[in-house]
Amino acid sequence: MIYQRVALIGLGLIASSMAHAMRAGGLAGEIVGHAKSAETRDVALKLFCDRVTETAAEAVQGADLVVLAVPVGAMAEIAAEIAPHLKPGAVVTDVGSVKQAVVDAVAPHLGPGVHFIPGHPLAGTEYSGPQSGFATLFQNRWWLLTPLPDTNAVEIARLRRFLEAMGANVDEMDVARHDLVLAVVSHTPHLIAYTMVGVADHMRRVSAQEVIKYSASGFRDFTRIAASDPTMWRDVFLTNKEAVLDILGRFAEELFSLQRAIRMGDGEQLHAYFTRTREIRRGIIEAGQDTAAPDFGRAARPKSEG
Amino acid sequence: MIYQRVALIGLGLIASSMAHAMRAGGLAGEIVGHAKSAETRDVALKLFCDRVTETAAEAVQGADLVVLAVPVGAMAEIAAEIAPHLKPGAVVTDVGSVKQAVVDAVAPHLGPGVHFIPGHPLAGTEYSGPQSGFATLFQNRWWLLTPLPDTNAVEIARLRRFLEAMGANVDEMDVARHDLVLAVVSHTPHLIAYTMVGVADHMRRVSAQEVIKYSASGFRDFTRIAASDPTMWRDVFLTNKEAVLDILGRFAEELFSLQRAIRMGDGEQLHAYFTRTREIRRGIIEAGQDTAAPDFGRAARPKSEG
């Protein structure tokens, strides 16, 4: 057992998966949960919480670890509500996809006796809600921590041990760098996937039927990315605005350059570009972040993996 | 056995997979292959061809079915070369990703005694070359035929039977419609994936190391799409120019509208958009074109599937 009492604020995919993983590994003495919706609380009590509470303030009382697992836009309000009820010495972490906005929203509310260690698990599925969690979601996934300069090293080490016990690989990085890296590897790709799916949706000359039927030829992978939780992603784009707009600007420049090459019939430019992008892919396979199996994302996937 | 002698012109992923599938199903009496490169011919002879020839003209002699499996840009030259050597009554098909350009390149060369039935298997992996093929590549994948109005119905039916025997689901559609549908579900998504990977490659402030390390958060699916054969994709964009530029224009409009919403902080517009795109995803799962397993494309994939 690493923490005696853990409070989960917000009971969606990430929090429910954490609870299942904690139970599987015997990592917490008691798991207390809070969600705004009574229905969600009922599901959580049945599936993975020892106790649920009607308010966040109640949930955090006596908790050694408090996990803020609500959309980034809701963090400030929750932090203000729970702050007076936190146990001295408690660790507060979060699972938001952007970090500067969470630090700005949460840190000002917390007293000096509380250890705030912002975090972000790079794990997810296209499903949301308390029934979508499973114990192995974090297995071999990165969990980034962005501790502030003056954070207690002993508590950082304890939180790392806890996350590693759930199967995650933990890395620490600077808040601003986190937001830029994620804008490149996650936020902008998601926006682009949403956009492409939106274009297909609007195409009146191509029926939705045909788009769906022949989706395996590339489009399907976009729809998987574009099916993630709308509220979470709205907040990501509103709160990591600067980095996302920067990367989007670069994306538009590159796209227009390729579009021009198509219009002008410049096959050399296209070929050189497509050859370069193969290299990054090779790097990912060599780094063990994907398999080299010649499958193009077609295979049926197990419910959870190692 | 459906065809006595089959000639494969071009011996990459698609042709080698067809050969493996023909052998597995006993669909052809003899498989003759031609590729420009002597090294490719050697591999093909060892792995899946009964005979290879130094020229395409030799390969098609006496063949009942001729499959043009070269990049779209090479079709016209090959058609001109083989036309005088085709057996009367032979069926010629192709596997190009665009159809109008192939019809324009091939049809004028073929005599009236030959049956030309353009085709396009919606199947592939990120690998190319004669060693990358496998017998089950076409299992449960669509194979689109775009026969011209005056094509012999008996020969279309025979080709369908042949493709279905390799595991494919065959659909017929109009040439122009094919090119538009594919621009939406395949060509434009590929260009966008290439672009996003190119942006990441150019990001000097984010090291390639970090992009690769944290790629699982969305970006990885783009790199898989963007690792396909550069020559094939160059030709796709050069030959389906009009439809791709049309869809790209729509894409840019949508993207700018979302970009503006981010800049202005319009959360409602973003949320509504992201909610709509979920619907298309549901349609794809309901149509059996993907599984609903909550995995986000993370699982190790089998080498080939059913």
A5-33 pLDDT, tens digit each: 999 999 999 999 999 999 999 999 999 99
- The C-alpha atoms of residue B59 and residue B103 are separated, in whole angstroms, by 21
Select the residue of B194, B280, B299 nearest A301 (Cβ to Cβ): B299
Encode pLDDT of B188-212 as tens digits. 999 999 998 888 887 756 677 788 8
Kind and range of the H or E run holding B8: strand B3-9
Q: What is the mean pLDDT of residues A239-243?
A: 95
Position with higher pLDDT, A288 vs B64: B64
Identify the residue with better confidence: B286 or A141: A141
Q: How confident is the model at residue A226 (pLDDT cuts 50, 70, 90)?
A: confident
Q: Closest Cα of chain B to A145: distance in Å?
A: 13
pLDDT in tens, B53-68: 999 999 999 999 999 9
ipTM at complex level: 0.83
pLDDT value at B304 more than 60: no
Which pLDDT does position B30 carry in this prediction? 98
Query: How many angstroms away from the CA of B127 is the closest CA of chain A?
Result: 6
For A3-173, the fitting CATH number among 3.40.50.2300, 3.40.470.10, 3.40.50.2000, 3.40.50.720 is 3.40.50.720
Residue-wise pLDDT tens digits, A165-211: 999 999 999 999 999 999 999 999 999 999 988 888 877 566 777 88
Three-state secondary structure call for residue B131: coil
Backbone φ and ψ of A252, nearest 5°: -60, -40
Cα–Cα distance, A156 to A115 (Å, whole number)? 9
Residue B4 has pLDDT above 80, yes or no: yes
- For the beta carbon of residue B112, count every other beta carbon within 10 angstroms: 7
CA distance A263 to B237: 9
From A214's Cα to the closest Cα of chain B, the distance in A is: 7
Average pLDDT, chain B: 90
Nearest beta carbon to residue B189 from set A181, A219, A303: A219
Rounded to 5°, angle at Cα B246 from A260 and A230: 105
**Between B40 and A193, where is the model more confident?**
B40
Please judge whether A294 and B125 are an interchain contact, meaning their C-beta atoms are less than 8 angstroms apart: yes
- Give B5-36 pLDDT, tens digit per residue: 999 999 999 999 999 999 999 999 999 999 99
Residue ranges of B 197-236 with Cβ closer than 8 A to chain A? 197-203, 205-206, 208, 210-228, 230-231, 233-235
Report the pLDDT value the prediction gives residue A204, as an integer from 0 to 100. Answer: 57
A291 falls in which pLDDT band (50, 70, 90)? low
What residues have CB less than 8 Å from A262, skipping those under 6 apart? Answer: A270, B191, B237, B238, B241, B244, B245, B248
Checking B254-260 for CB contacts under 8 A at 24+ apart, the result is B254/A195, B254/A198, B254/A199, B254/A202, B255/A191, B255/A192, B255/A195, B255/A248, B255/A252, B256/A252, B258/A191, B258/A194, B258/A195, B259/A245, B259/A248
Confidence of residue B298 (pLDDT cuts 50, 70, 90): very low
CB contact under 8 A, B185 and A211: yes
Quote the pLDDT of residue A298.
34
Which amino acid is it at A189?
P
Question: Does the pLDDT value for residue B70 go beyond 80?
Answer: yes
Q: Which residues pair with A28 in a beta bridge?
A: A3
User: What separation in angstroms does the CA of B189 have from each of A137, A145, A189, B104, B223?
Assistant: 28, 33, 12, 25, 12
The tokens 């972490």 sit on which residue?
Answer: A93
Q: Is the dihedral of CA B238, B241, B243, B248 positive or negative?
A: positive
Instruction: Enter the DSSP assignment of B29.
Output: E
pLDDT at B44 over 60: yes
Scanning the structure block, which residue is given the tokens 């509500």?
A: A81
Query: Residues of A with CB below 8 A from B194's CB?
Result: 258, 273-274, 277
Architecture (CATH level 2) of domain B177-286: Orthogonal Bundle (1.10)
Instruction: Tell me how far CA of residue B60 lies from CA of B7, B36, B43, B53, in angstroms.
Output: 6, 14, 19, 9
Q: Kindly state the average pLDDT of the residues B146-153.
A: 95
What pLDDT does residue B21 have? Answer: 98
Look at residue A294 and tell me whether its pLDDT is greater than 50.
no
Residue B18 CA to chain centroid, in angstroms? 13
Q: What pLDDT is stored for residue B277 in this prediction?
A: 86
Please state which of the ranges A114-123, A270-279, B142-151, B155-164 shows the lowest mean pLDDT. Answer: A270-279
A68-88 pLDDT, tens per residue?
A: 999 999 999 999 999 999 999
Contact between A277 and B194 using a beta-carbon 8 Å cutoff = yes
Q: Which residues contact A146 (CB under 8 A, 6 or more apart)?
A: A99, A103, A118, A119, A120, A172, A173, A174, A175, A178
Q: What is the pLDDT at residue A303?
A: 29
pLDDT of residue B266: 97
Taking the C-alpha atoms of residue A111 and residue A241, their distance in angstroms, rounded to an integer, is 28
pLDDT in tens, B88-141: 999 999 999 999 999 999 999 999 999 999 999 998 887 889 999 999 999 999
Distances (CA, A) of B257 to A305, B53, B263: 38, 55, 10
Residue position matching structure tokens 């976009």: A222
How far is residue A76 from each of residues A70, A82, A88, A108, B129, measured CA to CA in Å?
10, 10, 20, 9, 55
What is the average pLDDT across B142-162? 96
Task: Please indicate if any CB of chain A lies within 8 Å of the CB of B23.
Answer: no
Q: Which of A110-114, B164-168, B181-185, B277-281 has the highest mean pLDDT?
A: B164-168
Distance from CA of A295 to the nearest CA of B (A): 5
Any idea where the domains of chain B sit in the sequence? 3-173, 177-286
Q: Is A139 on the interface with B (CB under 8 A)?
A: no
Q: What percent of chain A has pLDDT over 90?
A: 75
Provide the pLDDT for residue B291.
61
Confidence category of residue A301, pLDDT binned at 50, 70, 90: very low
B50 secondary structure, DSSP code: S
Nearest C-alpha neighbor of B196 from the set A246, A199, A250, A216: A250
Which candidate from A197, A213, A221 shows the least CB-CB separation from B221?
A221
pLDDT in tens, A111-148: 999 999 999 999 888 788 999 999 999 999 999 999 99
| pTM given for the model | 0.83
Q: What percent of chain B has pLDDT over 90?
A: 74
